[in-house]
Structure 1
Amino acid sequence: MDLPLLNRALHPIPKAPVRIVHLGLGAFHRSHQAWYTQQAGDAANWGIAAFTGRRPDAATALAGQDGLFTLVERADTGDSFTVVGSIVEAVDGADIQRLTEVMAAPATAVVTLTITEAAYGLGSDGKLDISAPEVAADLARLGSDQGNPATPLGRLVLALAARRDAGAGPLAVVCCDNLSSNGTVAREAVAGFAGAWDTGLAAWIGTNVSFVSTSVDRITPRTTGEDVAGVQAACGYRDSSPVIAEPFSSWVLSGDFPAGRPRWEDAGALFVEDIEPYENRKLWLLNGAHSLLAYAGQLRGHSTVAEALADPLCMQAVEAFWDEAEANLSGTEATADLQIPAYRAALLARFGNARIAHNLAQIALDGSTKLRMRAVPVLQAERAAGRSGAAAALMIAAWMDCSSALPGFQDPLGDEVAAANSLAGAGRVRALLAVVDPALAADDAVVELVQGQCGRFAGHPASG
């Protein structure tokens, strides 16, 4: 039997007017911000125009379904299915004309971003590196009027210029990428790009655009062909673009919304004055444990988070790292509401959900970048407090072991990693540590500590 394609005639969810623009249409945005927007009590007033990044595929597929998709919440006890309709336009990111149109519309109040960490292009000084090839190329295109920008950052700045020219008023940019102080990162990137192109635009942005920091959380593994078939069998329609996610979700936001926002708190979003403790809780406890399991688990022969967590050696390493991280989260009035013991218990339950196939190889990507946020701050804090930081050092050591032991190991600084791996002994450890954090690499005691942790997982495949 030929089942119907998911569409708004089949599922009559009214199309809300576009008031949110999203850059970086992907699975996480759909499982998180789009889901929160649909759950808001005033969802009927808040439609999303979502633009892809480098490829149009996701927009093409969703456009054929009127923006609808199925969110599959995968719990240990079974799956539940929800049709999400908050995306009312799914657009190829290269369609600059449509992007500038919706950004210039007075009704547009919010821009959300999931464009990945690398897209912000900040240098070691926290400012935009305008000499980076992609940034320089976009600035040249805008300066010569000979083509549209190709990067999400360039496209956003061009669209903000259109809003300024239209006199459409202020709005909020909400960074939902997984990095510390992400609102500040977005502000520096946008201001740096605008300032390099048009200082008047940079001044307008400084006055009219707020940058909201967030901490986002929902495990969203890649959708497989089996998942697509499972939705079809369970729901009785065809959906080319379902999203699989764990039942848990979290969204913490801090910042101003000068043109309004949806009532995301209806779905459990939390609005706070100081987001840093929540960022660190998530980056260290959840993301840090993920990275540790990704490296240790693969060295032990595991392929998913649930498998690695069931390995006593991996579990012991996670608990030790959590103890170090917790020691640097607790004890102040600002962190009194973090409920860290309950958070740790919830993480164990989430990680142990074997029906969420969260692949270690996927988590392990971009390790040198991730370790700077997940392991390095804990190691530095522990050393500053007079403690060893051995558990955080073990995470870095496991990454080092993976860099030489795993075929197809990928890292944004792959050339530097390969050069370091051509060395031996302490020289190799110091060179690899320099890829992650040069200051730590200059500390002989840290080099010795990390070197002593190398090999803890390598050569010890899990039994069975």
Structure 2
Amino acid sequence: MTAATDAGVRLSRPAVGLPTPPERIVHLGLGAFHRAHQAWYTAHASDAAEWGIVAFTGRSRDLVDRLTPQDAVYTLVERAADGDRFEFIPSIVRVEAGDDVPAFVAAVADPQVAILTLTITEAGYRLAAGGSPDREDALVASDVDLLHSALTGASVGDAILTARPATALGRVLLALDARRRAGAGPIALVPCDNLPDNGGLVQRALTGLAGRISPDLTEWLAASVSVVSTSIDRITPAIDTDAESQAVLEATGWLDAAPVVTEPFSDWVLSGEFPAGRPDWESAGVRFVDEIATWENRKLWMLNGAHTVLAAFGQTRGHTVVSTAIDDPVCRVLVEGLWDDDARQLPEFHLADYRAALLERFRNPRIEHRLAQIAQDSTTKMRLRIVPVAIGELEAGRDGSGCAAAIAAWMLGVRAGTAPLPDGIDAAAVAEFEASDRHTLLNALDPRLAADVGLTAHVADALAALETS
């Protein structure tokens, strides 16, 4: 990387001699992770010059205001335990606000666009416990009514331009219908959030919503939209942007208003078809597989599951970041016990090396992965990352003690306020952790857990042990 001759020059595409690839990928949910992961892989593909990304934020304009003056180029800081590596990433070529629905619709309807990627968080899909669209969600119901009226009424063209769906999937359906009407051809939809079977789940969710909106859209989705399943992995913490901008300036001589800090490790596994083409991501290290479930589960259960437990419980012991929590012997025993249960549910993998690598990544003292950030939406995360393993262990005739301890640790976080209460549960209802309190929280995760006498006993024992640890 070559620094500017005069320190303090604003980073821009012409200033650092970077090309502007054509807009062929649209992304919804721009944040640090997309810029550290999918955008990084696209920039490192052998045909990167052919694939530019138009990125839409969730709703905030902050990244639009930071990135637009520098032509959407930003610095990726790979933070290893022994130092930093700085790299300019040029693959994002335009940044727009997520609430600019007409711009999003126009981008997806562009026939040159071949791929739509999503990072909208687990909660952003607004799904019920079984994975279908939550019909009780007021915003989902409102979007269904809005889109049905907009896409089947007499003035469809005007309605598409003026409709403003409130949910991410509502905006996606509106944009896909515009693509259908424009005859822009097939497209691949690639969800990159930590959901099991994320491709299948999103396909079912979109089909379910479309079925209540427009039969023509439903038919076109089945024929022209390929939903690709993914397993994604790169720890990318929240940062003090101003402080990191100063660090980039001192190291490179360039002013960057939107740097990203991430770990050196990165992994991306995909399964599915790209009917309109895709970058040569294999040349950047991406794996394409026929069966992705085991790869998803390894990452979701082991990395994300451990993070969820550390986030809820580690804060009750005074920790603020993953690197100190994992070196706490009590937290470490919790994680190892959970991983023992995980390993029995993942017989396809030899996991000793993977566990060792996870510990090394967690211990990186220069990646400040904040527990409070990870603890957001922890009930949803527990359902996805801990509950399936617990159910699998019980169905195999084992006690699921590692999962039971993880659940107990989460309960302590809920009581302490370091993990959010499940929806519909009042803090007073779980204040004492009597049997009824434990049952309430277990039932919020999965009624099958609350009904299992052996598991509830293990949770009670783990609570008693952790409270005195």
Deviates more, 1:189-198 or 1:176-185: 189-198
Do 2:415 and 2:431's aligned partners in 1 also have CA atoms closer than 8 Å? no
> Which residue number corresponds to residue 430 of structure 2?
421
Are residues 1:66 and 2:78 paired?
no
Mapped partners of 1:109, 1:270: distance in 2: 20
Mapped partners of 2:336, 2:198: distance in 1: 27
> Which residue number corresponds to residue 391 of structure 1?
402
The alpha-carbon deviation at position 294 of structure 1 amounts to 1.9
Do 1:175 and 1:212's aligned partners in 2 also have CA atoms closer than 8 Å? yes
Deviates more, 1:217-226 or 1:248-257: 217-226
Match of 1:346 among 348, 351, 357: 357
Deviates more, 1:25-34 or 1:114-123: 114-123
The alpha-carbon deviation at position 4 of structure 1 amounts to 1.5
Are residues 1:448 and 2:457 paired?
yes
For residues 293 and 129 of structure 1, do their structure 2 counterparts lie closer, same or farther at Cα, with a shift above 3 Å needed? closer
Match of 2:268 among 251, 274, 278: 251
> Which residue number corresponds to residue 19 of structure 1?
24
Do 2:188 and 2:227's aligned partners in 1 also have CA atoms closer than 8 Å? yes
Mapped partners of 2:102, 2:389: distance in 1: 45
Secondary structure in structure 2 of the residue aligned to 1:71: strand
For residues 274 and 452 of structure 1, do their structure 2 counterparts lie closer, same or farther at Cα, with a shift above 3 Å needed? same
> Which residue number corresponds to residue 7 of structure 1?
12
In the superposition, the TM-score normalised over structure 2's length comes to: 0.93
2:315 partner letter: Q
Do 2:120 and 2:168's aligned partners in 1 also have CA atoms closer than 8 Å? yes
The superposition leaves residues 93-134 of structure 1 with CA deviations (integer Å, 9 ceiling, x where unpaired) of: 122222222212211111100011122222234322344211
Are residues 1:436 and 2:441 paired?
no
Mapped partners of 1:131, 1:23: distance in 2: 24
Match of 2:96 among 80, 86, 91: 91
Do 1:60 and 1:92's aligned partners in 2 also have CA atoms closer than 8 Å? no
Match of 2:106 among 93, 101, 105: 101
Secondary structure in structure 1 of the residue aligned to 2:368: coil
Q: What is the root-mean-square deviation in Å for CA atoms of aligned residues?
A: 1.7
The alpha-carbon deviation at position 191 of structure 1 amounts to 1.5
What runs of 5+ residues in structure 2 fail to find an aligned partner?
Answer: 1-5, 151-158
Do 2:405 and 2:463's aligned partners in 1 also have CA atoms closer than 8 Å? yes
Deviates more, 1:251-260 or 1:91-100: 91-100
Which 4+ runs in 1 deviate beyond 4 A?
A: none
1:309-328 equivalence runs, <5 A? 309-328=326-345
The alpha-carbon deviation at position 197 of structure 1 amounts to 1.6
1:8-407 equivalence runs, <5 A? 8-142=13-147, 143=149, 145=159, 147-224=163-240, 225-330=242-347, 335=348, 338-406=349-417
The superposition leaves residues 403-441 of structure 1 with CA deviations (integer Å, 9 ceiling, x where unpaired) of: 1124x6424x34415253146411110001111111211
Secondary structure in structure 2 of the residue aligned to 1:273: coil
Do 1:296 and 1:457's aligned partners in 2 also have CA atoms closer than 8 Å? no
Secondary structure in structure 2 of the residue aligned to 1:197: coil
The alpha-carbon deviation at position 193 of structure 1 amounts to 2.2
The alpha-carbon deviation at position 297 of structure 1 amounts to 1.8
The superposition leaves residues 170-194 of structure 1 with CA deviations (integer Å, 9 ceiling, x where unpaired) of: 1110010001000011112221222
The alpha-carbon deviation at position 386 of structure 1 amounts to 2.1
1:220 partner letter: T
In the superposition, the TM-score normalised over structure 1's length comes to: 0.94
Q: How much identity, in percent, do the aligned residues show?
A: 48
1:410 partner letter: P
The superposition leaves residues 296-342 of structure 1 with CA deviations (integer Å, 9 ceiling, x where unpaired) of: 32222211111011112221221222111111101xxxx2xx44221
